[in-house]
Amino acid sequence: MLKRKALKREPSTGNVFADLGLADADEHLIKAGLVVKIDRIIRQRQLTQAATAQLIGVDQPKVSAMLAGQFRGYSVERLMRFLVALGHDVEIVVKPRKRGVAELRVA
- Compute the C-alpha angle 21/27/32, nearest 5°: 95
Residues 82 and 56 sit within 8 Å (Cβ to Cβ)? yes
pLDDT at 44 over 80: yes
- pLDDT by residue (tens digit) across 91-101? 998 889 888 88
- pTM for the whole thing? 0.83
Neighbours of 17 (CB within 10 A): 18
Measured between alpha carbons, how far is 73 from 4 in angstroms, rounded to an integer? Answer: 41
Residues 31 and 3 sit within 8 Å (Cβ to Cβ)? no
Residue 90 belongs to what H/E stretch? none
Which domains, and CATH codes, for the chain?
25-107 (1.10.260.40)
